[in-house]
């Protein structure tokens, strides 16, 4: 009798657990069915092709397996690479110069130095004459300094005067060449005339023919 009572009590415990599991599954199924029927009735009351639209919205709401995996992978990557802080202030190291807020700058990361600083116009530029050779004492009124300055400075007047000098030199050379050619031609004519007087015109038949034609 004791064995029968123990076996019956174990069976009752198993039956109670099994009934509790069935009741929980039934409750979940009933809640799903009630939500499904409520959505279906709302689609029907809305009019139109309710069945197709509901199925389409249902498929859109349920994510795919690869979408879930991609979302998890993306969350892991973002969680490892990004650091979310609540402090809005940017703390710079002490050895870095702080850029004023009036000067625009682009800062890529939280603790990075300013990478791109926009140019700003200096309202009070430097008015003191800068020295050409800092660190060396030189007399700015000396000829040596003037020659150095002229060697590196380009002036329009100097360029124009140098161009005029070059032009005059080339013209004088051209005139000298023309005068030399004319003088050579004149000397040749004088030489030929002198030979004509000395030797006669027989030794130059071509010149004799020219002279006959001229007569």
- Distance linking the first and last C-alpha atoms of the chain: 178
pLDDT at 102 over 60: no
- pLDDT in the model for residue 98: 46
Tell me the chain's radius of gyration from C-alpha atoms: 55
What pLDDT, on a 0 to 100 scale, did the predictor assign at position 12?
A: 58
**What is the percent of the chain with per-residue pLDDT over 90, rounded to a whole number?**
11
Strand pairing report for 105-106 and 116-117? antiparallel
Tokens representing 144 are 């040596």
Bigger pLDDT: 182 vs 100: 182
CA distances to 87, 94, 105 from 102, in Å: 22, 20, 9
Q: Tens digits of per-residue pLDDT, 23-61?
A: 666 565 555 555 555 554 554 555 444 555 556 565 567
Q: Is residue 178 pLDDT above 90, yes or no?
A: yes
> Mean pLDDT: which of 15-24, 122-131, 132-141, 178-187 is highest?
178-187
Name the β-bridge partners of 106: 116
Rounded to whole angstroms, the Cα distance separating 116 from 37 reads 61
Least Cα distance to 43 among 30, 56, 33, 31 occurs for 56
Task: Using the predicted structure, report yes or no on whether residue 92 has a pLDDT greater than 80.
Answer: no
The residues near 104 (Cβ < 8 Å, ≥ 6 apart) are 117, 118
Distance CA 175, CA 183 (A): 12
Task: Look at 1-10, 154-163, 184-193 and tell me which has the smallest mean pLDDT.
Answer: 1-10
Both structure tokens of 98: 């702080």
- Residue 86 has a pLDDT of 64
Kindly tell me if the per-residue pLDDT of 95 is higher than 50: no
**Continuous H helices in the chain:** 2-46, 50-61, 65-81, 143-152, 156-199, 205-214
Would you state the pLDDT for residue 206? Answer: 65
121, 104 in Cβ contact below 8 A?
no
- Mean of pLDDT over the chain: 68
Confidence at residue 169, expressed as pLDDT on a 0 to 100 scale: 93
Per-residue confidence (pLDDT) for residue 31, from 0 to 100: 57
Alpha-carbon distance of 109 to 26, in angstroms, equals 55
**Three-class DSSP category at 111:** coil
Read off the pTM.
Answer: 0.24
Q: What is the DSSP letter of 130?
A: P
Check pLDDT > 90 for residue 152: no
3-state secondary structure of 117: strand
What is the domain partition of the chain in residue ranges?
Answer: 2-81, 156-214
170 has pLDDT over 60: yes
pLDDT tens sequence across 74-88 = 888 777 666 666 665
């Amino acid at each position: 009798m004791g064995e029968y009572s123990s076996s019956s009590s174990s069976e009752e415990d198993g039956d109670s657990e099994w009934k509790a599991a069935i009741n929980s599954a039934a409750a979940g199924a009933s809640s799903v069915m009630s939500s499904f029927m409520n959505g279906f009735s709302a689609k029907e009351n809305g009019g139109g092709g309710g069945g197709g639209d509901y199925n389409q919205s249902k498929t859109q709401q349920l994510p795919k397996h690869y979408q879930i995996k991609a979302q998890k992978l993306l969350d892991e990557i973002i969680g490892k690479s990004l650091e979310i802080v609540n402090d809005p202030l940017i703390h710079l190291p002490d050895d870095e110069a702080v850029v004023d807020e009036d000067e625009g700058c682009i800062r890529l990361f939280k603790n990075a130095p300013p990478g791109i600083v926009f140019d700003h116009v200096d309202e009070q530029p430097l008015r003191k004459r800068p020295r050409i050779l800092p660190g060396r004492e030189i007399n700015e009124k000396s000829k040596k300094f003037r020659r150095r300055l002229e060697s590196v400075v380009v002036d329009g007047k100097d360029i124009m005067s140098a161009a005029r000098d070059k032009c005059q030199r080339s013209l004088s050379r051209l005139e000298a060449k023309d005068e030399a050619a004319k003088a050579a031609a004149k000397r040749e004519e004088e030489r030929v005339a002198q030979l004509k007087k000395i030797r006669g015109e027989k030794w130059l038949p071509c010149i004799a023919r020219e002279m006959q034609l001229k007569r």
